[in-house]
Amino acid sequence: MSVFHRILDRIADWRWTGRKVNLRFVAEYRTACFALPIINAILAEDEDGVTYRAALTDWRRAERPPLALYHGDTSFCRIDGPRQWVKDRSFPLGGLILSPGVTAHLDPFEARELQEHMECAIEQAIRQWVADHDLHDLAPVPETFDRRKADRKAKAKIAAWATRGERLRAVPDTDAEGPDHG
């Protein structure tokens, strides 16, 4: 596309923010069954759609399809696919580390080692959180929950916290039904 056409397209985007575009895809049936709900979620013009699109930002910057993304306060790590299998072992094709003053591309072995290290640290953090919050003492709850009710409750808790102007900490849950997702 020429520079002139790109400029016109940008002006059109700015001028007609509500314009709709028809998209057409050709895909194998099984791929389409998997992809269509994802595409619909990404295209939704609501908070969920915005969130899904934001989650894909790192994917658009990657040369390879990301297998895993890890974000710290100032550092970032991406493990790149597609995953390669050798007997019963899998390897990413590489990875990327961005940290203050550092940009490093990882080979498949470094990327696999770092991914295993990150997964171990995440597992350790989750188990520590479970122990610190006595989650083993709570009755198990189903993974699914009433999304509308849970969102309303979560937003009310955030609003209550904001009106008090407190530092970031949990607001006590006074609902007899338990946590937001139960």
- Find all residues with CB under 8 Å of 65, minimum gap 6, and list them: 59, 80, 81, 82
Checking if the pLDDT of 113 tops 80, the result is yes
Both ends of the chain: CA-CA distance in Å? 51
Report how far residue 40's alpha carbon sits from residue 49's, in angstroms, rounded to the nearest whole number: 9
Report how far residue 108's alpha carbon sits from residue 67's, in angstroms, rounded to the nearest whole number: 12
**How would DSSP label each residue in 45-58?**
SSHHHHHHHHHTHH
Mean pLDDT of all residues in 129-155: 94
76, 70 Cβ separation under 8 angstroms: yes
Identify which has the larger pLDDT, 112 or 19.
112
Checking if the pLDDT of 153 tops 60, the result is yes
Checking if the pLDDT of 39 tops 70, the result is yes
What pLDDT is attached to residue 143? 94
Checking if the pLDDT of 151 tops 90, the result is yes
What pLDDT is attached to residue 182? 47
- 157-182 tens-digit pLDDT: 999 988 887 766 665 665 545 555 54
Checking if the pLDDT of 37 tops 60, the result is yes
Report how far residue 9's alpha carbon sits from residue 5's, in angstroms, rounded to the nearest whole number: 6
* 0.85 exceeded by pTM: no
3: its two tokens: 């520079």
